Structure formats: structure tokens, C-alpha cells
Structure 1
Amino acid sequence: MTQVKNTFQFEDMLKKHHLKKTAPRLRVLSMMYSKTTATSQPDLENVMHDIDRVTLYRILNIFEEKGIIHKVFDLNGTANYAVCSSGCQENHHHDEHLHFNCTRCKNVYCINDLYLPGLTLPEGFKAESFTLYANGICPKCEKKPHH
């Protein structure tokens, strides 16, 4: 379940990450925190008509760089963005959780409450990040009759 934040918390978040408080950044943060699934830039463009594509692209990039959001790919290879856990920092994401792609509704869910064992790699390998995906049917789609 997403945590609802207010404008002051978003302003504090921007300040903490040394970002200027701008109306478009605050709107994108508000929209991202209101979603229960990852969302793509085109989906954001469809609901945020007053923010042009280039500005939205820059906002998503700086938020990802600062550890506010992380990128996850859907079944079509489209980049989607989801809010990071509080453990993420600038240029170092801790989004080692399961990303669940629903094959029916095409939504991407971040599953944070699943225990994942540590990653043990062969000698000489050093992981900087990893992404774990599962594909299947989400609870919403499981309840609906399939056409």
C-alpha cells in the first residue's frame, strides 16, 4: 500500500536531495506516491498535460539519480518508474525486491514484503545492483473473469 504524503513532505524530500522546489517536481512526486504500481513516462504524460515531455524526462532522470525513484521494465521492455524505499541514496539504489509483471493488465508491482536471500556470486564478481522479475497474474486480475 502506498503511503500518502503531503506537499510539505515532498518539499522536504526535494530539499534533502538538494533539488529546487518547482511545481512540476512536486506534481510528479505527488503522482508517483499516489500510485500502487510502477508507471511509465507516457502514462505520466497522459495525466500531466501541463508538463512537457522534456521537462518530465529530466524530472524522472534526476529523481532516479537522487534515489527517489527507480526504473523497472515491463513485459514490453518499457521503462516504468516506482518510488524507492528509504534505503536508496544518490547513485546507489537498494531496490532489490521482486518486480511482478501482470501478464493481463500489464501493471508492474514492487513486492517489498518478500524475503530475498543474499546474493552470493563466484569469486571475482561484484554486483552493483540486481533486478528480480516474476510474471503472472496480479490479485486484481485473478478476481476478474478472463476473456
Structure 2
Amino acid sequence: MVHPLEDTLIAKQITPTPMRLLVLEVLQRHPAALSLADVEQLLGHADRITVHRTLKTFTEKGLVHRIEDGSGAVKFALCEPGCTPEYHQDLHVHFFCTRCRETSCLPTVAVPAIALPRAYQVQETSLVMKGLCGNCSSTS
């Protein structure tokens, strides 16, 4: 019997390896987006280059998306089910909490359409809002 994590990787045409399964498990367990350093720390003893390559493969295959939240570290979060290597459908708002420094995907909050001049061709859209997350704002 194939493990559900293996099914997830196979569905994205990613060969399951022990490290890939561990990284996917870490990403699924944490609701906030994680940086390379976060993933390494949560795995304990892991080779940085292998974790980096795993996250790169996951991004290329449409399993995770990259978030540049202004914190200085690129973060990664699981994609919506319809993402493909050619097209990431993660057009939603990301929220960076200035207190706890966590970045969350808000998939129910869409990035508004912005009309650009005719000669401009959008290749990527990102919207990061900053402030206090629900947990931090309720403790202030």
C-alpha cells in the first residue's frame, strides 16, 4: 500500500525519496509558510543542499509556491490542488505578522486584478500584507 504522502508526490511526478517525504510532512504539519532554515530546523539533522533541492523540485513541479514576504528569507507553502509546473494558481494574499514573523497564505482573499498598460506582460503576481495576525492581535 502506498503512503498518502507518496501519492501526493507521485501525482506531481516527483519521485518519492525519504528526504522528500520528510520535507512534505513538515510542510503539511505547519500552517504557516516556512523558510529553508525553518524546514532544516524542524527536520533536525538534514543536509541543507538536499533540503534546498527538494524545495526547488517541489516548486518546479507545482507542489509548493515561493513567498517573498520582505523578511529577507524566501518562504514556501503548499500550493492549491490545481497548480501545475507551468501555472501556479496561488493568486491569493499572503500575510506577514510583524510580531511572530510568520507568513500565512490567505487563499480566500484573492489578489485584485490590476489593469496595466498594454505593453506590460505580467509573469508573476504577489501581494503581501503586513501587520498582526489573528493570534498576535488577540494578545495585544
Return the TM-score normalized by structure 1: 0.87
User: Does 2:63 correspond to 1:68?
Assistant: yes
Distance change >3 Å, CA 118–CA 87, structure 1 → 2: farther
Structure 2 partner of 1:47: 42
- Aligned residue among 23, 29, 39 for 1:34: 29
Q: Distance in 1 between matches of 2:62 and 2:10?
A: 13
Residue in 1 that maps onto 2:98: 103
Alpha-carbon offset, residue 115 of structure 1: 3.8
SS state of the match for residue 81, structure 1? strand
Take 2:70 and 2:16, find their aligned partners in 1: how far apart are those partners?
34
Question: Equivalents in 2 of 1:120, 1:86: separation in Å?
Answer: 27
The question of 1:11 aligning with 2:9 is answered: no
Q: Distance in 2 between matches of 1:64 and 1:37?
A: 17
Residues 46 and 116 (structure 1), Cα distance of their counterparts in 2 relative to 1, 3 Å cut: closer
> Under a length normalisation based on structure 2, what TM-score does the superposition of the two structures give?
0.91
CA contact (8 A) 1:75 1:106 kept: no
SS across alignment from 1:114: strand
Match of 2:123 among 113, 117, 128: 128
Q: What amino acid maps onto 1:122 in structure 2?
A: P
State the distance in 2 between where 1:115 and 1:40 align: 23
- Secondary structure of the equivalent of 1:112? strand
Residue aligned with 2:66, SS: strand
- The answer to whether the 8 A contact 2:92-2:106 is kept is yes
Give the unaligned 5+ runs of structure 1: 1-6
Name stretches of at least 5 consecutive residues in structure 2 with no aligned partner: none
- The 3 A distance-change label for structure 1 pair 25 and 140 is same
Question: Equivalent residue for 1:57?
Answer: 52
1:78 matched to 2:73? The reply is yes
